[in-house]
């Protein structure tokens, strides 16, 4: 299948087969693809948590309106934004650039100042919105990568972020849960997989100017 056919194949799984697990290679590929997701400035003001522990997932299920995907999927991926975006995050990023590209950190001064200006101009609410958007871009990359690899996924917003933060100890890590995705393999009796995908007609969806 080409990428369009694979995206036609994917859907938000309602029922996973708990007996089917991702191989280590499959999981690593999903993580690697998500790590390479586009991000403003490349700053990546978020982190992903791969939750496998059954006991933890039972607690998260209760904080997710008891949706079965939380515990039945192979893994649960939590996208958590940086709770308090600061200039220090820019410093960490530019140090990483300098080390990765083997250049003098001082050469990145103008770039760092531009990013710090952006950070300074964001109030708390705007920073939360911006960092959340970055996490959602990464979620889109995860979903596309999963489809390309023949792996099922279910993006989910139906959960209590504050309870997730508490269960996963995210506040202590300077993080806050934004969105989640269950990954694994669809159950044979998940009727939703047979529904025809509904999207806007192409002529309504796109306008060429």
DSSP codes joined into one string, the chain: --HHHHHHH--B-SSB-TT----HHHHHHHHHHHHT---GGG---EEEEEE--HHHHHHHHHTTTT-THHHHSSEEEEEEEESS--HHHHHHHHHHHHHHHT--GGGGHHHHHHHHHHHHT--HHHHHHHHHHHHHHHHHHHHHHHHHTT-EEEEE--S-HHHHHHHTTTGGGTEEEEEEEEEE-B-TT-GGGGSPP----HHHH----
Each residue of 107-155: pLDDT tens digit? Answer: 999 999 999 999 999 999 999 999 999 999 999 999 999 999 999 999 9
Each residue of 37-77: pLDDT tens digit? Answer: 999 999 999 999 999 999 999 999 999 999 999 999 999 99
Each residue of 73-112: pLDDT tens digit? Answer: 999 999 999 999 999 999 999 999 999 999 999 999 999 9
Residue 1: predicted pLDDT: 78
171 pLDDT higher than 90: yes
**pTM, two decimal places:** 0.96
Domains in the chain: boundaries: 3-85+122-205
Q: For the domain 3-85+122-205, what is the CATH code? A: 3.40.109.10
């Amino acid at each position: 299948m080409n990428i369009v056919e694979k995206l036609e194949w994917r859907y938000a799984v309602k029922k996973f087969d708990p007996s089917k697990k991702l191989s280590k290679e499959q999981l690593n590929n999903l993580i690697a693809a998500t790590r390479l997701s586009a991000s403003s400035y490349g700053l990546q003001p978020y982190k992903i948590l791969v939750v496998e522990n059954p006991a933890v997932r039972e607690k998260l299920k209760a904080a997710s309106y008891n949706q079965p995907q939380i515990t039945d999927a192979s893994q649960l991926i939590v996208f958590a934004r940086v709770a308090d975006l600061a200039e220090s995050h820019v410093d960490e990023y530019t140090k990483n650039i300098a080390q990765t590209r083997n250049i003098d950190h001082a050469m990145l001064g103008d770039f760092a100042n531009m990013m710090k200006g952006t950070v300074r101009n964001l109030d708390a609410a705007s920073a939360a919105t911006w960092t959340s958007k970055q996490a959602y871009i990464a979620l889109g990359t995860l979903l596309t990568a999963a489809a390309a690899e023949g792996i099922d996924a279910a993006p989910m917003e139906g959960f209590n972020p504050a309870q997730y933060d508490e269960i996963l100890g995210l506040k202590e890590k300077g993080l806050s849960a934004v969105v989640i995705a269950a990954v694994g393999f669809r159950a044979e009796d998940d009727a939703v997989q047979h529904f025809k995908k509904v999207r806007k007609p192409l002529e309504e969806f796109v306008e060429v100017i």
